[in-house]
Chain A
Amino acid sequence: MSTMTMIEAIRATLHAEMRRDDRVTVLGQDVGQLGGVFRATADLRDEFGSSRVVDMPLAEAVIAGSALGLAASGMVPVAEIQFLGFTHQGFHQIASQVARYRYRSRGRYPLQLTIRTPFGGGVRTPELHSDALEAQFVQSPGLKVVMPATAYDAKGLLAEAIRDPDPVLFCEPLRGYRMVKGEVPDEDYTVGFGRARTARQGSDVTIVAWSAAVQMALGAADELARQGIDATVLDLRTLVPLDVEGLAEAVAATGRCVVVHEAPLSAGFGAEVVATLQDECFYDLEAPVARVTAPDTPYPLAGIEDQYLPSVQRVVDATIRTVNQV
């Protein structure tokens, strides 16, 4: 067992997976010589050489599209897109090709590939480095969408993603890279997809979140506890596949729910959570499910991003309103 930051856990997992399986190939901008702009791929090239750790030309479509080709040829590519906002430069490859290739070939193409990318805001980045675009990928059937919130899960879910036969978009909370620390077992393990994690057990209300918003939800739960409200925090961990049963159970147990995400409100994944809950446990609900999200505006620059993003205070306020509904 070691204490690791999120980024250390990711780096260690990439090293371990490349050692375990020599088909695993890392490709992306600045991943080789530099070791990634966040050092996620540091020292990989020294150990595995530049044919398995490839500095790609500055073009996201070639990263995603050639990862597909590599996978079809039997390799196991782990591609990095430098920021989620720049997946748009390769979106036609990710959504229209990577996600659909197995379907198009009626299962003939192997498509064991992972696309890693930093996710979310709150760290004062330039434009398009912070946008939470997860719903766009959830709407691309064929792709799994994975959202670790802890260092333990970063390792277990990344190992699972690399070994999963389906293509996976693996979103790493930018805000958590160095801030989120935790115990990570040294030995090999995976965390299966489609199993939500109870980050905190409570009895009054269930706060549902993923990625960096889980930390925020936990902060809110601490504050709510001081005010006598005992909240469960449920970390979805993967949006595709969604743990429908785990979600419904956790919400039915308290009868009240608040969903938190960094993406804009309209057609955000929170809407999917709400719709799922009203399908699965409508009669257990004692109040409407609330959403705490960004507004339907473009992601602003640093100066007002704190007002844009959901905050501990907003989660606390929304939770109190939800709990007080009769």
Chain B
Amino acid sequence: MGRTVTGVDSSDEGPPGDPHGWLPPDEPVSLLDPDGSYHEDPEHPLDLDDEQLRELYRLMVVTRKVDREAINLQRQGQLGVYASCLGQEAAQVASAYALGADDWIFPSYRELGAALVRQVDAAGLLHLYRGTWLSDHDPYAHNFALMSIPIGTQALHATGFAMGAKLDGASIVTLTYYGDGGTSEGDPHEAMTFAGVNDAPVVFFVQNNQYAISVPLDRQTAAPTLAHKAIGYGMPGLRCDGNDVLGTYAVTRRAVERARRGEGPAFIEAMTYRMEAHTTSDDPTRYRTKEEREEAAKTDPIARMKNFLTARDLYDDELEREIDEQAQELATYVRDGIYDADHGDPMELFEHVYVEPEGHFEDQAAQLRAELDSAGEGS
């Protein structure tokens, strides 16, 4: 029998670092079918109790609710633009949930779900999209780095951070998110090269949502799958059904623990679909069909987890009410925090540019101060 699931530490795969096990499985790892039926997989046992299973579901529902609220806020002119994660909730929530409390996340702009797992203030996050601040949360309070707009840049930061932790002897793993398009940029490529050479404890987590704005996957790569690329950097290429919260969790968990044991980085390709437009500025009807989207909707990550929980008697009306209330509460909190939010003091332009601003720079700040003061007097 050929290997189906490879790349991590099962005893039949030879010593760690044996590249024979590094190619991805023929099919992405999947534990939950779209209808919610569960298959046991001895290579991917679940270490989750009932409460944790419910928690994964709750996080996905809350993510979807806040995501919807953000789209509404954008439509009402409260956000400049917004990049939705609709359909990608399982990929984000499961992978973030698979990390330990001290582990770090280096996200792109689309990772609302991962941010909520890290309890980052959801209204604060949206200030990036409102245009208030480039960031609101303290990365060190949540082990959640700043959302990166230029594609793939964060992969290098995750690698450097992981190297730093390793040098410190801390058993920290970093996980960085980027998209299928991001795999084409130089930065993730260079990050994987460096991580591979140094056995850096970093997990490169790609949400393959099939598109980079309008450009489909087959214009990004001729590789059989994105995960096949991993072996070229000297790390296992893993693949999971990114709309299966349990499969994604199990695959990420193994990669994270492997990295923590010092066995090096891993690459995960989570197969998913971007159900919304690229951002609120995009018109997807120009490059994909309604039928395609409808087909993808049948693999919804939340519906299948609900079926799974129901079949296990872990879901009832009370839980539904509870979760809906929580989601509504957070959505309202976000709306209150964002709606007509003050843009703050223009003098912030000059803050945090240098630790000790000097000379010329201070003159420019004084000039703006004077301008603002005289405008204030006039009004």
Contacts and interface: CB of A to CB of B under 8 A. Distances in A.
B185 A89 contact: yes
Given A29-B215, A34-B214, A296-B360, A302 B131 contact: yes
Given A29-B212, A30-B215, A58-B220, A126 B109 contact: yes
Nearest to B361: A296
A46 interface: no
A194 interface: no
Interface string B352-369: 010000001100110110
Contacts of A305: 131
B80 A302 contact: yes
A300 B134 CA distance: 8
A37 B186 contact: no
A128 interface: yes
B348 A296 contact: no
Interface in A55-75: 55-59, 61-62
Given A33-B287, A57-B184, A304 B346 contact: yes
Contacts of B367: 295
A165 interface: no
A89 B287 contact: no
B131 A303 contact: yes
A266 B363 CA distance: 13
A59 B368 contact: no
A124 B131 contact: yes
A89 B186 contact: yes
Interface in B210-254: 212-215, 219-221
B343 interface: yes
B349 interface: yes
Contacts of B186: 59, 61, 89
Contacts of B360: 266, 296
Interface residues of B, number: 45
Contacts of B80: 124-126, 302
A246 interface: no
Most buried by A among B133, B149, B353: B149
Contact of B219 (A55, A88, A89): A55
Given A33-B287, A35-B286, A57 B220 contact: yes
A307 B361 contact: no
A34 B150 contact: no
B344 interface: yes
B364 A33 contact: no
Contacts of A56: 215, 219
Contact of B349 (A61, A62, A265, A297): A297
A307 B349 contact: yes
A233 to B, nearest CB: 23
A33 B150 contact: no
A192 interface: no
Interface string A144-183: 0000000000000000000000000000000000000000
A18 B367 CA distance: 49
Contacts of B348: 300, 304
A202 interface: no
A297 B186 CA distance: 27
B184 A59 contact: yes
Contacts of B107: none
B342 to A, nearest CB: 9
A88 B150 CA distance: 10
A129 B109 CA distance: 14
A61 B187 CA distance: 11
A86 B152 CA distance: 12
A16 interface: no
Contacts of A55: 214-215, 219
Interface in B176-223: 181-182, 184-187, 212-215, 219-221
Interface in B308-356: 343-344, 346, 348-350, 353
Nearest to B151: A58
Contacts of B282: 37
B343 A303 contact: yes
A49 interface: no
B274 interface: no
A12 B346 CA distance: 40
Nearest to B286: A34
B307 to A, nearest CB: 36
Contacts of B343: 303-304
Interface string A68-102: 00000000000000000110110000000000000
A182 B134 CA distance: 36
Given A29-B212, A297-B349, A308-B349, A58 B184 contact: yes
A29 B212 CA distance: 9
A265 B364 contact: yes
B214 A33 contact: yes
Interface string A286-304: 0000000001111011111
A127 interface: yes
A89 B344 CA distance: 32
22 contacts: A29-B212, A29-B213, A37-B213, A55-B214, A57-B184, A57-B215, A58-B151, A58-B182, A58-B184, A89-B150, A89-B185, A124-B131, A126-B129, A127-B128, A128-B150, A266-B360, A296-B360, A296-B364, A300-B134, A301-B132, A302-B131, A304-B343
Closest 4 CB pairs of A and B: A302-B131, A303-B343, A34-B214, A58-B181
Interface of B: 80-81, 109, 128-134, 149-151, 181-182, 184-187, 212-215, 219-221, 281-282, 286-287, 343-344, 346, 348-350, 353, 360-361, 364-365, 367-368, 371-372
Given A128-B150, A266-B360, A301-B131, 4 more contacts: A29-B215, A57-B181, A85-B150, A89-B150
